[in-house]
Amino acid sequence: GNSVTQMEGPVTLSEEAFLTINCTYTATGYPSLFWYVQYPGEGLQLLLKATKADDKGSNKGFEATYRKETTSFHLEKGSVQVSDSAVYFCAPNTGNQFYFGTGTSLTVIP
């Protein structure tokens, strides 16, 4: 079956620091890959996605590249802001079941 291994948190960074959150997955078939973000007290919302090998998804300064050979989809941002403080979820999808990692909590301090 499908599974996701996501970088353990919590992660605390200073403003303008570089962010990487690692995500590796196992999946049957050829998954689409998603990152979702959850702000306090809210539901998850789509951050970015990639649907085939070597595709790069990007949004709000965040990027992730679909690496089929290493089954990874690491999230990066060059300069984080306080407003990026949230929980981030990696989620591969094949078929009608979406699988989520355990989430990585990020806190950015001024």
Partner 1 sequence: NAGVTQTPKFQVLKTGQSMTLQCAQDMNHEYMSWYRQDPGMGLRLIHYSVGAGITDQGEVPNGYNVSRSTTEDFPLRLLSAAPSQTSVYFCASSYSGGKYNSPLHFGNGTRLTVT
Q: How far is the CB of 35 from partner 1 (least distance, A)?
A: 10
d(CA 2, CA 100): 10
Q: How far is the CB of 97 from partner 1 (least distance, A)?
A: 6
Taking the least distance from each CB to partner 1, the nearer of 43 and 110 is 43
> Which residues have a Cβ under 8 Å from the Cβ of 2 and sit 6 or more positions away?
25, 26, 27, 28, 31, 92, 94, 97, 99
- Give just the sign of the alpha carbon dihedral 70, 97, 104, 102: negative
- Strand locations in 17-72, DSSP E? 19-21, 23-26, 32-38, 44-50, 56-59, 62-65
Taking the least distance from each CB to partner 1, the nearer of 80 and 90 is 90
Taking the least distance from each CB to partner 1, the nearer of 97 and 110 is 97
Positions that interact with partner 1 (CB under 8 A): 4, 6, 32, 34, 36, 41-46, 49, 51, 89, 93-98, 100-103
Taking the least distance from each CB to partner 1, the nearer of 17 and 74 is 74
Q: How far is the CB of 80 from partner 1 (least distance, A)?
A: 22
